[in-house]
Amino acid sequence: MLVVAHQPWSSPLRRPRMSNSVDRRPGVSLTSRYLLRDGKPVIPVSGELHYSRVPRSRWVSRLRQMRAGGVTVVASYVFWLHHAPVFGAPSFADNLDVASFVRTCRSEGLDVVLRIGPWVHGESRNGGFPDWVQASPVRHRTDDPAYLALVEEWFGQLGSQVAGLELLGIQLENELYDQPGHLVTLKRLARDAGMSAPIWTATAWGGADLPAEEVLPLYGGYGDGFWVDADAPWDPTFRDHYFFSHVWDDPGIGADLRRPSLGAPQPRTPSPWFPPATCELGGGMATAYHRRPRPSALDVATVAHCKIGNGSAWQGYYMYAGGTNPFAGAQESHATGYPNDMPALGYDFHAPIGEAGLLAPSSAELRHQHAFLASFGAALADMPSTLPEVRPSGVEDSSTMRFALRGNGTSGFLFLAWHQPHHPLPTYRGAQFQVGSLVLPASPVDIPPGTLARWPLRHGPLDWATASALTVLPGDTPTLVLQETAGVPFSYSAGGTVATASPSLSPIHLDGLDLLVLPAALSDAVWVNGDRLLLSADELRWGPDGRVEALTTAAHPSVRVYDPVEGAFATLPLQPSGGVALSVPSTPSLVRDPSTTVPVAYEKFDGRQSAPTPAVFDELAAVYRLDVPSTPGADLFLRIAWSGDVAELRVNGRPVTDRFWDGSPWLINLPDLGWHPGAALTLHVLPLAAGSTVALPRDARDRLLTAEGQLLSIDEVTLFSRSTWHE
């Protein structure tokens, strides 16, 4: 028997000065357990989108994609480098118009957190400092008066744009570990420049020393990372995040400090004044030249799921939407003294919304978690996390079930996580749980690897169910929507009577409650839009009015909506509103052969492989011409299945995006990158030497091992676009 017993809050609810007695804003109040909006507890979901890495014309569509994904807060770095690469000439034009971006977010019904730095990192050159700031004879990131004079001028320029705008939060600096006084100074300078918000934040990982009560500490969690050496094993600081624990610090992000073990006793909340909150749960992972991790959708979802079970009061993702650097040379690189060579332009991050604006598989996994938080967040926020007495002994433990309880002593949710990458877990045999007086399921069940579950406990007439809570649809008889836990037979108890059923699209009628248990096979097609449950394999998005927009490459989208009164799904009527549905193969024409022998390695920096220089790339890469037919009204994308080392796409000879190969297909939006009918489009691909030691995902490494001498292949190129349909 797997036992967990509810443990109530160990300290009374507190209200910090922040948002309560200082920086007050009507309807916003922070407590030691949760955020209140209009007096109601909420669990915000923030997603990172960098306005300066996304075309301005795409802001609204990206924000609506985020909204459909359950994101409620948009976070963005403000890159000083992007705005003022040249001294004395700051720009806030086009997609650098941060004020318009904030207003657009607010008009789309989304809150905003600006991460103003001035040092931000974000895989940017000099951590986001312009070269002229980096070269200044000052002590950067300190209270050196000469440095503060530069910051004061920049904050004044930024404040002239955003002063008076409604921000939910402002983050100061990033990954600053030992300068609490400097954070207070930056807060004063930001206020003096007219910037204000009810919540001020700072990153707390790496044991950061933060000024008490001045900033909300924010944490992170990445299941893998590009910032370790190519030959490094899967680091324990990554592995930790696939377990339930009350350890919120992650010394693996930006620091190398002693790591507390999973078994060490930890407080459930890392601060007596503030709730546990995150800003950098890995929505994916960037790709460095020397190390190219590629997290799966389940990898991403497991880390986020565990944080909810751990007691998270704020789910924050980095990145949620990828983008493209505004100019070559804006990236972190060995040439500027940073330990990683990053792509010069592409910043896809394997995010739920990729660089091209297309949804990744992780978007479906995460939006179900976010629908759960939207529906149950008010209750969940006041449910402390409780861990079982018997829990894994460490990150090597693959036999002890990983589970946690969030409850209030009466009702709650049982969280299970039985997945991790790199070292697959076996099937867990004979699981049965005891939560207080409840025992579930009635008979032990096997838990297959890949299981993520949030089973409801004591909700109305329902005692328990072995399917994950998704949402509640209102009505005279409410409908509790559950998602089948794949591989686990569905059973439930109501009024003490145990029953089994097959998941289907028809409800189970209880006394005063309907249960709708959706089959696991439909998981990727499930969407929750406010009080509506939708099924569609096509992409859906919507704005503040909730009117659905569907995008499809088929002749007509298929969207169904559930009617709780009828207890059935019906077709949602949609009208065409633009675009062209198209999906055709494209055959690249070889313009120039690649070099027959590329080096196993180029230069090295601090022991890590460097990316080839532009001159070397041009000398050794193959060149292909891509012919794009004229298709009026089409928003054209390319899907390139390829293998090699480094690839660039060029429009009229100008590089517009690039990518390091990691075994995944490359998705590209042509109009976003400046392509137009008649423009020359070329693909440049550098082979990867068979003996290369860059770290690759297992399937990519296996493919490289089959190569004779070097690997380069263009397997398939597809040109496609989608038509758009509206309610």
| 537-581 pLDDT tens trace | 999 999 999 999 999 999 999 999 999 999 999 999 999 999 999
Q: What pLDDT, on the 0 to 100 scale, is given for residue 258?
A: 30
Beta bridge partners of 576: 725
Mean pLDDT of 124-150: 98
* H/E element, 201: strand 199-203
What number of CA atoms fall less than 13 Å from residue 438's CA on the CB side?
32
Both tokens assigned to 606: 């601090």
Asked if the model's pLDDT at residue 255 lies above 50, the reply is no
Mean pLDDT of 327-332: 96
- Residue with more model confidence, 101 or 259: 101
Asked if the model's pLDDT at residue 276 lies above 50, the reply is yes
pLDDT tens per residue, range 102-114: 999 999 999 999 9
* H/E element, 458: strand 451-459
Asked if the model's pLDDT at residue 698 lies above 70, the reply is yes
Both tokens assigned to 377: 């967040």
Residue 22 DSSP class:
B
Give the chain's domain count.
2
Question: E-assigned strands of 344-447?
Answer: 346-347, 385-386, 403-407, 412-418, 428-435, 438-447
pLDDT tens per residue, range 618-650: 999 999 999 999 899 999 999 999 999 999 999
Q: pLDDT band for position 266 (50/70/90)?
A: low
Evaluate whether residue 480 is within a structural domain: no
Asked if the model's pLDDT at residue 92 lies above 70, the reply is yes
pLDDT tens per residue, range 25-62: 999 999 999 999 999 999 999 999 999 999 999 999 99
The whole domain housing 640 covers 581-726
Q: pLDDT band for position 710 (50/70/90)?
A: very high
Residue 250's CB: how many other CB atoms inside 10 A? 24
Buried b (16+ CB within 10 A) or exposed e, 13-25: eeebebbbeebee
Q: What pLDDT, on the 0 to 100 scale, is given for residue 262?
A: 47
Cα 626 from chain centre: 32
CATH number, position 715: 2.60.120
Evaluate whether residue 420 is within a structural domain: no
pLDDT tens per residue, range 368-382: 999 999 999 999 999
CATH number, position 76: 3.20.20.80
Evaluate whether residue 495 is within a structural domain: no
Cα separation, 301 vs 364, in Å, equals: 9
Q: pLDDT band for position 259 (50/70/90)?
A: very low
Q: Are 414 and 439 in contact (CB under 8 A)?
A: no
Q: What pLDDT, on the 0 to 100 scale, is given for residue 269?
A: 77
Evaluate whether residue 34 is within a structural domain: no
Residue that is last in its domain, among 355, 373, 391: 373
- Residue with more model confidence, 264 or 578: 578
Rounded to 5°, angle at Cα 498 from 495 and 503 = 110
Q: What pLDDT, on the 0 to 100 scale, is given for residue 270?
A: 86
C-alpha dihedral, 547 to 553 to 556 to 560, nearest 10°: -50
What number of CA atoms fall less than 13 Å from residue 273's CA on the CB side?
15
Cα separation, 701 vs 28, in Å, equals: 50
Q: What pLDDT, on the 0 to 100 scale, is given for residue 254?
A: 58
* H/E element, 29: strand 28-30
Rounded to 5°, angle at Cα 661 from 658 and 664 = 105
Evaluate whether residue 573 is within a structural domain: no
Asked if the model's pLDDT at residue 260 lies above 50, the reply is no
Cα separation, 384 vs 409, in Å, equals: 10
Cα 169 from chain centre: 18
Residue that is last in its domain, among 328, 357, 373: 373
Q: What percent of the chain has pLDDT over 90?
A: 97
Q: Are 667 and 355 in contact (CB under 8 A)?
A: yes
Question: E-assigned strands of 489-633?
Answer: 491-494, 497-500, 508-510, 513-518, 526-529, 532-535, 539-542, 548-552, 560-563, 568-571, 575-585, 589-592, 604-605, 608-609, 622-625
Handedness of CA 146, 150, 155, 156 (dihedral sign): positive
CA nearest to 447, candidates 500, 398, 397, 482: 398
pLDDT tens per residue, range 184-239: 999 999 999 999 999 999 999 999 999 999 999 999 999 999 999 999 999 999 99
Q: How many residues does the chain have?
A: 727
Lowest-pLDDT range of 145-149, 252-256, 333-337: 252-256
Q: What percent of the chain has pLDDT over 70?
A: 98
Q: Are 176 and 218 in contact (CB under 8 A)?
A: no
Asked if the model's pLDDT at residue 663 lies above 80, the reply is yes
Helix (H, G, I), strand (E, B) or coil at 185: helix
φ and ψ at residue 523, rounded to 5 degrees: -55, -45
Q: Fill in the amino acid letter for 487.
A: G
Residue that is last in its domain, among 320, 338, 373: 373
Both tokens assigned to 685: 């691909």
Q: pLDDT band for position 251 (50/70/90)?
A: confident
Buried b (16+ CB within 10 A) or exposed e, 587-620: ebeeeeebeeebeeebeebeebbbbbeeebbeeb
CA nearest to 90, candidates 140, 148, 155, 149: 155
Mean pLDDT of 93-122: 98
Q: What is the mean pLDDT of the chain?
A: 96
Residue 497's CB: how many other CB atoms inside 10 A? 8
Mean pLDDT of 69-81: 98
C-alpha dihedral, 444 to 445 to 447 to 453, nearest 10°: -90
CA nearest to 216, candidates 283, 249, 169: 169
Cα separation, 448 vs 242, in Å, equals: 15
φ and ψ at residue 48, rounded to 5 degrees: -85, 125
In a 10 Å sphere around its CB, with 0-12 CB exposed, 13-18 middle and 19+ buried, how is residue 400 labelled? Answer: middle
Asked if the model's pLDDT at residue 257 lies above 60, the reply is no
What number of CA atoms fall less than 13 Å from residue 563's CA on the CB side?
7
Q: What pLDDT, on the 0 to 100 scale, is given for residue 522?
A: 98
Check whether the bond before 236 is cis (ω within 30° of 0): no
Place of tokens 């440049």: 684
Q: In Å, how far are 52, 297, 327, 333 from 324, measured between CA atoms?
A: 8, 22, 8, 16
Q: What pLDDT, on the 0 to 100 scale, is given for residue 265?
A: 52
Cα separation, 429 vs 443, in Å, equals: 12
Evaluate whether residue 475 is within a structural domain: no
Cα separation, 181 vs 318, in Å, equals: 27
